[in-house]
């Protein structure tokens, strides 16, 4: 296994992210699903310069992005967005894209269960045809019930992947699994052979090693089912705004370059943008916790 990290958790230049992670034990990066923000030729150059590679990307299903929307035009725009993310990953010689089918934060369905299932399958089949031609794997990602009502558990993601196509897989996430699965280790075992990516954060969504998840057992279970891909660090630290805050320098009071969507996403998930000092600590802690475990694989 190798160690990767997402870059959407803090507002900073991608060069800043790449320079930091190259010094902290990472070999891969999972780039934010914002293809309009990146010059892929420049990102390729930076990755090569720092002996890193692109593992993939994650869709940022914000605003009107929804593969199971009732409105056909909205679904079409959402399909095109995911295709754009796939093209970006292909241009970066990446491997996979994790797809959250519905809008993050949307809790009211657009239709009956059978309608939404059909809309999701039809949208993903079109995306799947494109990804297969591009040589990029898809992984349906379950996220917790407080962020979506549609795909919350690994079994649901597996059923959707099966309906889409034989090479469509799942991307599991330890934080969401800790909330939704009755046994996360059995959920990993049931996904054997279909895991295209694995996102890691602790039970409190802090860096691995800062909560109570059993990382030795998680990595051992992934090894047991033959997963030899990448662990992609994706902490989204909750920020303490009270006098009990153990990390007083955690909040970036003046974040630069945040789009309205990014600002809302960070506020919804972690209260605000984090400071560079705090973010570097979380990045380092993640590597420290996981590196020794994956070197044994």
Q: Which of 195, 149, 150, 148 lies closest to 173 in space, CA to CA?
A: 195
186 included as an active-site residue: no
Residue from 116, 126, 180, 234 carrying the catalytic annotation: 234
Residue from 126, 141, 180, 181 carrying the catalytic annotation: 141
234 included as an active-site residue: yes
Helices 276-294 and 215-224, axial angle in degrees (round to 10) = 50
The residues that are catalytic are 141, 234
């Amino acid at each position: 296994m190798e160690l990767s990290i997402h870059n959407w958790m803090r507002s900073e230049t991608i060069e800043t992210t790449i320079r930091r992670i190259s010094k902290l034990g990472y070999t891969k990066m999972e780039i934010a699903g914002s293809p309009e923000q990146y010059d892929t030729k420049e990102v390729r150059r930076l990755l090569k310069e720092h002996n890193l590679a692109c593992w993939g990307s994650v869709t940022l299903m914000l605003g009107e992005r929804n593969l199971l929307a009732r409105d056909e035009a909205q679904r079409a725009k959402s399909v095109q967005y995911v295709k754009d993310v796939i093209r970006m990953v292909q241009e970066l010689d990446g491997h996979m894209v994790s797809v959250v089918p519905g809008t993050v934060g949307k809790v009211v369905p657009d239709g009956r269960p059978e309608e939404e299932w059909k809309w999701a399958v039809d949208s993903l089949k079109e995306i799947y045809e494109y990804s297969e031609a591009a040589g990029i794997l898809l992984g349906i990602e379950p996220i917790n019930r407080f962020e979506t009502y549609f795909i919350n558990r690994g079994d649901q993601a597996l059923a959707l992947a099966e309906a889409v196509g034989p090479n469509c897989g799942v991307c599991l996430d330890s934080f969401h699994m800790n909330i939704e699965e009755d046994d996360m280790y059995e959920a990993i075992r049931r996904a054997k052979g279909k895991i295209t990516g694995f996102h890691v954060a602790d039970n409190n969504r802090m860096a691995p090693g800062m909560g109570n998840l059993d990382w030795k057992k998680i990595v051992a279970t992934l090894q047991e089912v033959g997963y030899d891909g990448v662990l992609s660090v994706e902490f989204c630290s909750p920020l303490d705004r009270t006098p009990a805050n153990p990390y007083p320098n955690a909040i970036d009071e003046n974040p630069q370059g945040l789009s309205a969507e990014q600002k809302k996403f960070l506020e919804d998930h972690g209260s605000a943008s984090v400071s560079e000092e705090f973010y570097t600590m979380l990045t380092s802690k993640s590597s420290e916790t996981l590196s020794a475990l994956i070197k044994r694989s």
